[in-house]
Each structure stands twice: as structure tokens, then as C-alpha cells.
Amino acid sequence: MAEQVHIFDTTLRDGEQSPGISLNTQEKVEIAQQLARLGVDVIEAGFPITSPGDFEAVEAISRCVEGPVICGLSRTHKADIDAAWNAIKDAERPRIHTFISTSDIHITHQLQTTRDDVKGQAKAAVALARSYTDDVEFSPMDATRAEIEFTAEVCAIAVAEGATVINIPDTVGYTTPEEYGRYFARLYELAPELRGVELSVHCHDDLGLAVANSYAGLLAGARQVECAVNGIGERSGNCSLEEIVMLLRTRGDEHRLDTNLETRELARTSRMVSRFTGYPVQPNKAIVGRNAFAHESGIHQDGVLKERITYEIMDARDVGLDSNSIVLGKHSGRHALRDALEQLGFKVEGNALNQAFKQFKEIADRKKQVTGLDLEAIVSDRVREGSARYELAWFDVVASTRHEPTAKVAITRPDGSEAVGESGGDGPVDAIFGAIRSATGVASELRQYTVSAVTEGEDALGEVTVMLRAHRRLASGQGVATDILEASARAYVRALSNALEGAAIREAEGVTAEAASEPARPGP
Ligand code: KIV
Ligand code: ZN
């Protein structure tokens, strides 16, 4: 019988700290609901003190997501812990996660304080958090670069004050699997009281070792792993959720550890996070990449055709890379659409269903078959639509290899009025982007542009991701359509909306444009 490892998902907190990610509350709730379907044990929903927007999202998730523990992050300050508690208090199972650095590098240069003060802050923070809830996690930040004796002392203080989970962060992705494993063994020796609580791993990927290090920590006794979907997070990211989960599932013979996850939801969760964050998944990404189960060489193809296990260690169906089994045609009605969406895990009713149906019909007119992957893309598109400041009304484009391409674009403003802009450009996409800038009057600079196909085949839906800089903010947007130019226009308008939304929130929060270009969060 395998021992259970708890999955602590930090996509919405550490993951959201990646440059250019600007999720609104509705998108965060959608992702949290999908994480609940996936069966994660804990959702770290955000860092409530950092902004009213973060607070609102954590509160919304706490109120409507059932199943997982909902966790709010806080420094050791009273105001942080109060904010975290107020945001999560309506959750079925709330957790406060409080942290302070134990490395001398951080204590001297960042906190500019003393070890004694760190001990006092950790003690007071855990005690205050415990006065609110029985479920309190404590992290000695930058633990792997800290003196282990001091870290053990601080962890023992946290346990004495009632912390139920002690997390050992490799904040800057510095450790190695052997060293991290030894770190846990030594911590247990220095602070035997750690055997009475759950130990947790939190590894960053600066040296590409986040999954390997997390695994080493689990082998050394930790039973919670902090990870993010697609491995997103600060700098080069966090331990990838799908990789650690499938490592545990596939090599149970080696370690007798497993999780309670419904792994068939992994691919869908990955696509949703990629769409909403604007962070594409590389084709060769383990587990969820487009090529993770593709065989190119003749020898491999031959082997797999004869017997799948010749070159596959996992079954693509076990990670959900088979959602194409749902197929609708152009004559499918509203009921069939609703049933298919329900099978995909989306409850879409009323006006939202009408909108999804309209979009489905438009696509079904141009595409022979609409698959599960197409439907997912359509519904994700609809989620983003409702929250956009600007929407694309229509565009005309004249493209030629002999003359400069030109575009005319109409944008619907939030008050329903239409603004039209015109522009030339190096190509049709560039002309469309110029026309959007002229219609909205918002200066922006394109930073990244990616096009991919939702499914295979000539009539596949195109999916475009745009990352741009406007109002001194990086923001991303994504668009789906049968026509790449339309998908591009939608993605650009959405990215612009997201940048403006972020700028407006910061303005309302009293953050200047200058400060907004700095990392917004006070913490890790
Ligand atoms: O990387 C880190 O140290 C963190 C902590 C808040 C756990 O994200
Ligand atoms: Zn982190």
C-alpha cells in the first residue's frame, strides 16, 4: 500500500508571480475549480495582503471552491496574517501559510534584522495564525542557504506554537537532490519534534532540479509537495505539478508513494493554465507537451504499433491527452453542446450557454468537426470575454506582397460605443495591431507573439498568445478563432484590456506607474 503525498498547488500564488501573468478573479476561480476537479489537497489561492485584487480572489475561491484546503500566504506581520485570515475564513478548510527567512543573506540584506528578531517574529506569527485556525503552515524562507542549526531552531519554535506543516523552501533553486535529502535527515536529528508534523518541499527550478529536489525531499520523509501547473513561478518556476505527480504514480514500485489525484485531468488543467496565463507549454514538455506521447522515428513507431509499452512508460489516456473523443458536428444542438461541455467539466447555463452556442455554430460552419479540445478553447475564450475592457467588433485587412498591408479595426468600449482605427504595417498582423492601438489610443509594445493550432488538421482552430507592455505593465492575452488574423486581433485586444485593468487596479490601490513596474509583491 502506497503512502499518500499531499499536493499543495501554488499555481495561483507562486505561479502567478511570473512576469506578464495577470489573472483576474473570475479566471482564478475557474482555475481553482479545475484544481479541485484534479483533486489537489491544498490550493494556495494567493497572498491577500499584496492587493485588494489578490484579497478578493482568495476570498472568492474560499467561498465557492469545495474539496481542497484553501490557503492564504502571509509574512509574519500582524496585518498580513489578519488579511490572510479574513480572505480565507469562509473556506470549508482554511489554512494560513506564514513565512520568514532564516538565511543570513536574507536576514542581513533584505530583512536587515537579527536572528533573535526572526525567532520572535516566527513565534508571534504562528501563535497569531493558530488563534484563527488549527491549520497553520510555516516556512523558513531560503532554508537551503541558511545555517541548518538555526533553521531547525526556528522550525522547532513554530512547532511549539502549533504549526501543523513545516515547509522547507529552496527559494532560489540552489540545492541538489543529495544535499536536500541530507538536509531533511539532519533537520529531523536537530529537531525531533518535526516528526510530529507534516514536512513539505518547495523547490524552484533555477538549476532545472525542482522536480528532482522535491522527489529527494519526499524520499527523505516529507509528505507534502508544493508545485505549480506547468511549473510556472518566480524566475524559472516551481516544481511542475504534472511531473512530480506522474513520477510518483509511474514509479510506485521504487518508492511506494502516491497522490490522490485524478491524473486524467492533468492535460486539461495544463491547457487551462497555459491559456489563462499566456504561458505556452513547450512541445517536448514532460507529461503534457504536445509531443510527450508522439513517436517520430520509424523504429519507435513500429514498436508502439506492435506493443505500446515498447516505447511508452505511461498511457496518454492516464494524463488526459485523449479529450478528442468528444466530437460534435454542425447540426448538433444546444443540448448536445451542453452535454459535451458537462463531460468536459464545464457547467454552462443560461446566457453563457447561449454565447457558447453562438460561438460553436460559427466555428462548426467553418470546421467539419468540433472536438473536445475545440470546445475547451471556446469556453476558455468566453471566460476571458466577459472580463475584457475592450472587445473586438470587426476588422478589415488588405494584405499583399506588393503593397504595404493596411487594416481597419473597430473596438467596442465598455460603455458599448465603438472606436475605429486604421494603420499600415510590415504584415497584416502588424497592421491590425497598429489599428487596435489607434482605435484605443493606448500606446503598447508587442513583446511576444505565439501561434499554435488547437487540434491537428487543416481546419484546426488557431490559438494566438500575445504578450505586450502597456502602462508600464506586462500583460498577456489569448484569442481563438478559425482565422489566425482574427485570433491575433482578439489576443491583442485582450492583452491590452488586461494591461489597463491591472493599471486601473494599481491606481485605485494608490500604486504609481513607476512602482508598478517593480515587483508588486513584498515577499518571496
Ligand atoms: O520560494 C519561497 O521561499 C516561497 C515561500 C513563500 C514558501 O515561495
Ligand atoms: Zn517559492
514 domain-assigned: no
User: Residues 250, 352: one domain?
Assistant: no
User: Residues 435, 483: one domain?
Assistant: yes
Q: What is the pLDDT of residue 517?
A: 38
Distance 113 CA to ligand 1 centre (A): 19
User: Residues 352, 409: one domain?
Assistant: no
Cβ–Cβ under 8 Å, residues 95 and 64: no
Q: Domain with 499 in it: what CATH number?
A: 3.30.160.270
What ranges in 323-349 are assigned the alpha helix state H? 334-343
524 domain-assigned: no
pLDDT for 507 beyond 90: no
Distance 99 CA to ligand 2 centre (A): 11
Distance 171 CA to ligand 2 centre (A): 5
522 domain-assigned: no
User: Residues 254, 316: one domain?
Assistant: no
User: Residues 265, 402: one domain?
Assistant: no
* Residue 488 in contact with ligand 1 by CB distance below 6 A: no
User: Residues 308, 329: one domain?
Assistant: no
523 domain-assigned: no
Least confident stretch, 172-176, 338-342, 383-387, 495-499: 383-387
User: Residues 217, 129: one domain?
Assistant: yes
User: Residues 414, 464: one domain?
Assistant: yes
115 domain-assigned: yes
- Looking only at the bridges linking them, the beta strands covering 391-398 and 406-412 are antiparallel
Q: Which atom of ligand 1 is the closest one to the Cα of 204?
A: 1
User: Residues 64, 31: one domain?
Assistant: yes
In the predicted model, what is the mean pLDDT of the chain? 91
* Residue 80 in contact with ligand 1 by CB distance below 6 A: no
User: What are the Cα distances from residue 51, in Å, to 7, 23, 57, 364?
Assistant: 26, 13, 10, 42
- Name the closest-CA residue to atom 6, ligand 1: 524
* Residue 49 in contact with ligand 1 by CB distance below 6 A: no
User: Residues 26, 142: one domain?
Assistant: yes
Q: Which atom of ligand 1 is the closest one to the Cα of 99?
A: 6
Q: Which atom of ligand 1 is the closest one to the Cα of 14?
A: 8
Domain with 183, as residue range(s), is 3-277
pTM for the predicted model, two decimal places: 0.89
User: Residues 47, 191: one domain?
Assistant: yes
- Looking only at the bridges linking them, the beta strands covering 462-470 and 473-481 are antiparallel
Q: What is the pLDDT of residue 389?
A: 80
Distance 375 CA to ligand 1 centre (A): 36
Number of independent structural domains in the chain: 4
> pLDDT (tens digit, 9 = 90+) per residue, 196-251?
999 999 999 999 999 999 999 999 999 999 999 999 999 999 999 999 999 999 99
User: Residues 192, 142: one domain?
Assistant: yes
The single-letter code of the amino acid at 394 is W
pLDDT for 291 beyond 70: yes
